[in-house]
Amino acid sequence: MVTEIAPRIVVDPRVRFGKPVIRGTRVPVHVLLAKLAGGMSPESVAEEYGVQLADVQAALAYAAHVLEQQEVRAVAA
């Protein structure tokens, strides 16, 4: 069962162990983010993985949303 969790981002328990992927592909969101973090341009990432530039931008937006929802508490040492 495919579930859209964000624009262009879906999860399916039968694809990549249920990790978020770009809709219509098996390309995991975390792979695109890692390539961007490694210095690749969004255009190069899109070309290398056969996705659209809008998919790369959707991966970034999804990551920002996930991080926004996290709560991190500093613990005094």
Q: What is the pTM of this model?
A: 0.90
Half-sphere exposure of 2 (CA within 13 A, CB side): 12
**Over 90: is that where the pLDDT of 76 sits?**
no
Q: What is the pLDDT of residue 77?
A: 75
Considering the domain boundaries, does residue 74 fall inside one? no
CATH at residue 61 = 1.10.10.10
Considering the domain boundaries, does residue 25 fall inside one? yes
**3-class secondary structure, 6:** strand
pLDDT digits (tens, 9 = 90+) for 11-32: 999 999 999 999 999 999 999 9
- Split into its structural domains, the chain has a count of 1
What's the rounded mean pLDDT across residues 25-51? 98
Residues spanned by the domain of 16: 3-69
CA 3 to CA 26: how far, in whole Å? 14
CA 62 to CA 77: how far, in whole Å? 33
Considering the domain boundaries, does residue 18 fall inside one? yes
CA 72 to CA 41: how far, in whole Å? 30
**26-30, 52-56, 70-74: least confidently modelled range:** 70-74
